[in-house]
Amino acid sequence: MLERLLRWKIPLIIILVLVLVGTIHYTSIRRPDITRLEGILRDVLSPFQWSFSRIGGFFQHQVAEVNRWRGLKERNLELEERVSQLEAEVFALRNHRRENEWLREALDFRDEGEYELLVAEVIGRSPSQWESTIVVNKGQAHGVVSGMAVVTNAGIVGTVINSSNYTSTVLLIVDAQSATGGLVQATGDLVLVEGGQMGQTTLAAKPLSRDTKVEVGDVIVTSGLSRIYPKNLPIGEVVAVESRQYDLSFSAVVDPFVDFTRLEYVLIVMPQEES
């Protein structure tokens, strides 16, 4: 029995292990293009993912609706207060915008707010908790390629890491593999915003210079240095500042503006055509 086992099973296991180690090694580096087989599997699976996402979304909406009705009166009072605050803020911002437009014209700045955006529906997410990715229903057929930024109106979501014909995988900024250049809006100090935090729901902002100052409540926006994200897109708000060993440095806990558990639609930033 053992001899028979040794005769064919052990060589088979050795070959299998070698093949697996080879494929793991080959695919350990991030690849902009996926193989044909991967593309086919993803495209075949996407209708199933879409169906289950719709069903899940329906139930999530129902639960959210019940919760919304519960706190409607309190919410109304809060909103009235907030509206009056925002009216005052809008007035100030209008003044700033007029001033900004005048300065742009004066300095001949290119308006960086004009991007071509492609709306995509979220149809899936990573199968494991150790990767924070989502799958959207736009792929190479729609002009989506690896490296494109993905945002919502609330802030940045992540970057496209690969795409099949009709789907794309987006690495979320909360993933451990993600690092984004950011700056503190109030001071303009540069920070590196990294994922991989507790529950994959917060980010860590690490200073790039010793003089960087970050306080709770500061807003972190994209620095525009990475060439992936356009400048000044909101990332999140600092909710805590943690000192590191011997107080030589710090790490700020950033609460992202985007709620990654409720993503339904995202915007893919398409490259601007050179004029």
Partner 1 sequence: MKYVGYGLIIIVGLALQTASPGLVVFGRQPELLLLLTLLFAMLQGPGASVFGFVSGLFQDILVGRFIGLYAGTYLLMAILVGFLAKRLYKENALVRFFAIVLGTVLGQLLYLFGAASFGSSSPQSWVLISGVVGTGLLNGIVGVLLYRPFMALNERLIYLHELLKRTG
Residue 98, judged by CB atoms within 10 A of its CB (0-12, 13-18, 19+), counts as exposed
Q: Which of 9, 10, 11, 52 binds partner 1 (CB under 8 A)?
A: 52
129 binds partner 1 (CB under 8 A): yes
DSSP 71-108: THHHHHHHHHHHHHHHHHHHHHHHHHHHHHHHHHHHHT
- One symbol per residue from 231 to 270: x for binding partner 1 (CB under 8 A), - otherwise; what is it? ------------------------------xxx-------
Helices 72-107/36-70 angle, 10° precision: 130
Q: In this chain, which stretch among 25-33, 86-94, 98-106, 152-160 interacts with partner 1, using CB under 8 A?
A: 25-33
1 binds partner 1 (CB under 8 A): no
Amino acid present at 269: V
Nearest to 198 by CA among 254, 246, 155: 254
What Cα–Cα distance (Å) separates residue 202 from each residue in 2, 39, 106, 135, 157? 53, 31, 39, 20, 13
| Minimum CB–partner distance for residue 63 and partner 1 (Å) | 10
Q: 231-247 as b/e, with b when 16 or more CB fall inside 10 Å?
A: eebbbbbbeeeeeeeee
126 binds partner 1 (CB under 8 A): yes
Tokens 């900004």 belong to which residue?
A: 100
Q: Closer CB to partner 1, residue 56 or residue 271?
A: 56
| Minimum CB–partner distance for residue 22 and partner 1 (Å) | 8
- Binding residues for partner 1, rule CB under 8 A, total 54
- One symbol per residue from 143 to 182: x for binding partner 1 (CB under 8 A), - otherwise; what is it? ------------------xx------x------xx-----
Which residues contact partner 1 by CB under 8 A?
17, 19-31, 34, 37-38, 41-42, 45, 48-49, 51-53, 55-57, 60, 122-131, 133-135, 161-162, 169, 176-177, 196-199, 261-263
